[in-house]
Structure 1
């Protein structure tokens, strides 16, 4: 599966800062110190509907991570998956009387278009669950051979008790885990499981549903968590720098994935930092495909909204914060974009070197984009009020905003 085209990232003078970022597993800020190649895995979409602002906010956060690393002159090895076979996708295809493969391909293509428009840097490896199945099957077989998995009516489950570190990503108690498992794709009430929290590794073939040859596992399809584990281990290995996604993935997805990988490899932890973006709400509730309260990036673009304004609307909120989308949020972003573009349209202006360092400092401090935006606002206001004599300063600002914030002026 192919990703989307990369926009050029301008090179800036000077050196970026090492990133301090909030790690869910430790509950505090950690300073990441990757080697020459920084490694990041971000969980991708289940392509049964278009990209909404909640998706965009998550991918914007991890795009900033990449840009901070690139500014430190590191390479970035970024991997993202596409869950192109799963119950929600099959249910939507049946509801709309369309082929599930065609639906997945259509929505994945639209996602690529949205990411391109928003100038999100693409992953080096963009892998679908279906194409990952040949690598998933051996992992499930290994877990079963190690006594960390068991069969229940043809389905294969992972035993969470096989990982002594289980629970160290989300730090939730058993009651909270059980509740979230039921809400987020698990089946804690299924009779016969060794532990209600045990997640499915391999679902035996069901009548009328797609299935693949699972070797000794029999025909079926993979569970959600093992999909990402197989892709991450294949392309990044253990101990990669950041496991990223929305805050709703901390449990069960990232918790279970970490346990799968740790039992498979005998190493801990799977990732050096578990980083989670906040949720975006509309009309008082989290944007959710199941609720239908969505604002789609593609619809905003069709309505003539500049993608740079959409990105500024996302950047106006700290990535870890939950926030609510309103028309005012977008209006403010459009007005900010207009002010910035007017400011950089002149041939000279106030000195810009200090501003570049302010943006760097803000982003290195747990991706504090709102503080970075406020710094650019001050420069633009000074340009508007007093002008300046530094020839080329507007160009420096334009390049910095593009390179570090992903906003093309």
Structure 2
């Protein structure tokens, strides 16, 4: 049985869905004012992997992840670039989709945007005011955090300590508008020239936290099966989402809270973030590193564990990915001389590995233990490829299970990658075609090799080649 670690209870719990075989899952998306860095990508990849495993186990997953496309950071970026917030959002939403597609992240069921849900946000806030959980103050609307009796439970914080901390960090102008320092904004009045929408409280824009409460419940219902995001969102963002949503609906907001670990960088394992200026964007990194290597590094670590980003960790990921590709290539080479039938002993070993993989991933998506089973499968593939006699059914079983299990981690492999000897043979044929001035044949071979990821370089010493 699948068990997941619930941040709210701090325990692993059996996983049960509200509707049989259906998972309604909401994951907080990016604020689209810049390219995402690999710390952001870690969250996207972690929950994509979780989604893929749930689908592998037979669930229909309704996966919703938002875009925050109106925010103080976006206003500041638009001012700095002398453009508009919608233009900034358009640019970086497109960049986000391009970046995550290269990381083989499956498209969400829906990507709602804050700016497209202003009417619903205003109606949500009206209900909170009517129920006595929110109040208007000089064009702003605040949530009365202390009135929600469970406030602080998700992040395991004492409300009096939160009050003391808030008193030190909230600016005087905002503090003067609040009934309590820990209250948070649901609606912010607009300053002259800022993007805004009309509301019962004047021109303004939504606060950050209210957006996710509105969009998650709009698309997935009052109670979610899973709500996910990075550890840095536990407080205040997810804490505030719970307070808003449960005050409005009177129902439990999410049955399971899942939070992924940070990506760290440097010898002191400092958290990667834009605010610290120590980040590497996916947009830049994929120009230098195979996106599948990045995906491998991020997906094959258990989602709650931190990941240390370094050139060594990337090199290790690349090496392990190549070993898996080689195992598949070696296996596929034997299809041409396979005999009809099956090797029962190997088939039974594959079944054992498949069971071990499910057992590992059922334990809170334990990717490391799951990968151990995949490495064992690759070992069997290599050994079987060296047997004198191989059988078609067993080759197909090995290949199918390998692709199924690695596919859960979002990994893609070439089914028919050319062996080094085959590359050398084609290059020799191309050299002969060039010597005979058959340039059409020469170009055709070059194009064939390029399509297989083989790049050629003609030098005075002969043709050199490398894999892309």
Spell out the pairing of 1:385-404 with structure 2 (5 A cutoff): 387=385, 389=390, 390-404=394-408
Match of 1:9 in 2: none
Residues 27-47 of structure 1 show CA distances to partners (whole Å, capped at 9, x for unaligned) of 111121112321001000001
Decide whether the 8 Å contact of 1:178 with 1:196 is kept in 2. Answer: yes
Distance 1:218 1:212 in 2: 8
User: Where does residue 183 of structure 2 map in the other structure?
Assistant: 198
Are 2:217 and 2:223, in contact at CA under 8 Å, matched by a contact in 1?
no
- TM-score for the superposition, normalised by structure 1: 0.89
How many pairs were matched up?
389
Native 8 Å contact 2:167 2:181 kept in 1:
no
Contact 1:343 1:394 in 2 (8 A): no
Q: Deviations over 1:375-398 (max 9, x none)?
A: 212222344456454322442233
Q: Quick one: structure 1 residues 401 and 33, their matched pair in 2 at CA, closer, same or farther if it must change by over 3 Å?
A: same
Task: Choose which of 381, 385, 404 in structure 1 pairs with 2:379.
Answer: 381
Which residue number corresponds to residue 54 of structure 2?
A: 69
1:273-324 CA deviation, whole Å, 9 max, x = no partner? 1110111122232111122211222222212x22221111112322111232
Ranges in structure 2 where 5+ consecutive residues have no aligned partner: 335-342, 414-468
Whole-Å separation in 1 of the counterparts to 2:164 and 2:212? 23
Distance 2:315 2:32 in 1: 29
Structure with higher RCO (Cα < 8 A, 6+ apart) = 1
Instruction: Specify whether residues 317 and 182 from structure 1 end up closer, same or farther in structure 2 by C-alpha distance, changes over 3 A only.
Output: farther
Deviation at 1:251, TM superposition (A): 0.7
Work out which of the residue numbers 239, 264, 272 in structure 2 matches 1:281. Answer: 264
**Residue 66 of structure 2 aligns to a residue in which SS?**
strand
* Residue equivalent to 2:339: none
- The Cα of 1:363 is off from its aligned counterpart by 1.6
Q: Contact 1:180–1:252 at 8 Å: present in 2 too?
A: no
After superposition, where does 1:193-342 map in structure 2 within 5 Å?
A: 193-214=178-199, 216-267=200-251, 269-283=252-266, 284-303=269-288, 305-342=289-326
Aligned to 1:6: none
1:368 is aligned to 2:366? yes
Contact 2:68 2:114 in 1 (8 A): yes
Gap change, CA 1:334 and 1:174, over 3 Å in 2: same
| Superposition pairs of residues 119-138 of structure 1, within 5 angstroms | 119-138=104-123
Work out which of the residue numbers 145, 166, 186 in structure 1 matches 2:130: 145
Within 1, Cα distance between the matches of 2:36 and 2:172? 27
Q: Does 1:80 align with 2:88?
A: no
Pair 153,94 (structure 1): closer, same or farther in 2 beyond 3 Å = same
Find the aligned partners of 1:180 and 1:375 in 2 and give their Cα distance: 47
User: For each residue in 1:237-273, what CA deviation from the matched residue of structure 2 results, as whole angstroms up to 9, or x when unmatched?
Assistant: 1221111000011111111111101110112x20001
Aligned equivalents of 2:313, 2:241: Cα separation in 1: 35
Between structure 1 and structure 2, the one with the greater Rg is 2
CA–CA distance in 2 between the matches of 1:177 and 1:316? 36
Measured in 1, the distance between the counterparts of 2:166 and 2:226 equals: 23
Secondary structure of 1:22 counterpart: strand
Is the Cα–Cα contact under 8 Å of residues 356 and 400 in structure 1 kept in the other structure? no
Q: Alignment partner for residue 4 of structure 2, among 2, 18, 21?
A: 21
For residue 402 of structure 1, report the CA deviation from its aligned partner. 4.2
Q: What RMSD over aligned residues (CA atoms) do the two structures have, in Å?
A: 2.4
Alpha-carbon distance in structure 1 between the residues aligned to 2:227 and 2:170: 20
How far the C-alpha of 1:196 sits from its partner, in A, is 1.2
CA distance in 2, matches of 1:188, 1:178: 17
2:23, 2:201 → 1: CA distance?
Answer: 35
**Is the contact between residue 230 and residue 259 of structure 2 (CA under 8 Å) also seen in structure 1?**
yes
Greater alpha carbon shift after TM alignment, 130-139 vs 29-38: 29-38
SS at match of 1:82: coil
Question: What is the CA-CA distance between 1:188 and the residue it aligns to?
Answer: 11
Q: TM-score, normalised by structure 2?
A: 0.78
SS of the aligned residue for 1:127 comes to: coil
Following the alignment from structure 2 to structure 1, what is the Cα–Cα distance between the partners of residues 161 and 47? 27
Kindly indicate which of the two structures has a greater share of residues assigned to helix: 2
Separation (CA, whole Å) in 2 of partners of 1:308 and 1:175: 47
Residues 1:59 and 1:19: Cα distance change in structure 2 (over 3 Å): farther
How far the C-alpha of 1:180 sits from its partner, in A, is 7.5
Residue 31 (structure 1) aligns with: 14
